[in-house]
Amino acid sequence: MIKIVVAGTGYVGLVAAVCFAEKGHQVIAVDVDENKIQQMKSGKCPVYEKGLEELMVKNYQEGKIDFTTNYQNAYQDADAIFIGVGTPEKSDGSVDLTDVITVAKQIAENVQKDCLIVIKSTVPVGTNEKIEKFIKKHLVHHVKIEVASNPEFLSQGNAVEDTLAANRIIIGTESEKAKILLKKIYEPFHLPIVCVKRRNAEMIKYASNDFLALKVSYMNDIANLCELVDCDIEEVAKGMSYDSRIGNHFLHAGIGYGGSCFPKDTKALVDLAKQHGYKLKTVEATIEINQEQKLKLFQKANKRFVTFKDLKIAILGLAFKPGTDDLREAPSLDNIRALLKKGAKIYVYDPVAMENLKKKYPTQIYYTQNPEEALCDADLCFIFTQWQEIKNIKPQIYKEKMKTPLVYDGRNLYDLEEMKKAGVEYYSIGRRENKKTKHNMFKQYMRLCTFLKSKTFKKWHTEK
């Protein structure tokens, strides 16, 4: 049995710790927050993630995982220590490695046997090498350590499945010994393992995330063009998806990406390129497009209304995606800030993310118990998250509940014709809402032009 210690019980660390335990390893999860440790021991998961709490409780009760703030004891005799703490972005877009360095120093001061330190946190290329030198410099006991890279590729809302049934495990090592131990740790997962050098593993993480972010921004850019040239982005995306070189993932147009990964990882890679005198044009464009896309619907509505002051605005969906309570870089936040500046009265609903929004706006916003309450007498509605609960709202509900049935949908949840039949004025992304009406008007105009040129009209006009 391999004794594994995981530093950090946030999104990355806790998912890794619980999944290692589920696969039969003895795991200790370390965090500096005593309240969080007690919360987990009592069976309450601090991270909102599908299936995580149940798995955490199960393995804790079976004695395969424990939680502690006593990192001194935890690090002493570990076979492998995984670092899964946060690496937020700084104001200039670079990566803040403060927590990683803090854990590295704690490990150096307390490890008392040969140990493999594995960095799961997303870190710039070259960080593993620097952390290894740092730990060796500060070692208190005469032991051998090595640092390896094992980046995570988790999708929030699906992190447990993404770990237990990953499409690949990336391990970056500089020695055969480290590679063998990591492969042994992941052997019970029965998943493809890709073994590379440390720097390559670090780059794989950034290159993968940034490519997906680029794909999202590309589709949003095409969606904006579709609106101008009378195309439907959903039909375009469907046609693209059959090309095996493109695939069918990340082709959905909307109001941009958010979360803890894409925004900071794109900025971090751009920053890394700048440090080496290189301009990463594709990723810079991705960031620019995404930022502009977030306010696309607000700008549409702003053109329509003279003012938002004292209008009741219903907002359905706050989290950056369904299945999570994460508001980091969520498009809803950009729109809420813009609407509050315009004097709007905002009524919000989200099944799990409202408590997090209350930390930012405890009194400036009205929090509702259900979508219908938010929609009641609303002047307009914005949809920012594709929760199934929101998708299930019937079009006629908007007509019945709202003062003005006017909906700006950032996730393209509804059928255009159904919303039209229900009497809802409906705007989405990359779909020409009134294209049939405009097409019919154009045909009528062409018929009129043809008639005016006809002999019949000329004869009638002469007789008159």
Residues labelled as active-site residues? 261
Angle at 196 between CA 191 and CA 200, to 5 degrees: 120
Distance CA 5, CA 100 (A): 15
Number of other residues whose CB lies within 10 A of the CB of residue 397? 16
Helix (H) or strand (E) holding 348: strand 345-349
In b/e form, how buried is each residue of 227-248, taking b as 16+ CB within 10 angstroms? beeebbbbebbeebeeeeeeee
Number of other residues whose CB lies within 10 A of the CB of residue 261? 25
Query: Which residue bears the tokens 């870089």?
Result: 329
Nearest to 191 by CA among 206, 171, 212, 172: 171
Nearest to 134 by CA among 244, 126, 49: 126
Torsional class of 148: left (φ above 0), alpha (ψ -120 to 50), beta (otherwise): beta
Kindly list the distances between the CA atom of residue 56 and the CA atoms of 28, 156, 207, 445, in Å, as whole numbers in the listed order: 12, 17, 31, 66
Structural contact between residues 396 and 285, judged by C-beta atoms closer than 8 angstroms: no
Nearest to 205 by CA among 125, 131, 325, 141: 125
Cβ neighbourhood burial of 279 (10 Å; 0-12, 13-18, 19+): exposed
Structural contact between residues 71 and 30, judged by C-beta atoms closer than 8 angstroms: yes
Distance CA 350, CA 325 (A): 9
Distance CA 403, CA 393 (A): 17
Q: What are phi and psi of 261, to 5 degrees?
A: -105, -65
Kindly list the distances between the CA atom of residue 314 and the CA atoms of 322, 366, 377, 379, in Å, as whole numbers in the listed order: 18, 10, 9, 8
Q: What are phi and psi of 27, to 5 degrees?
A: -125, 140
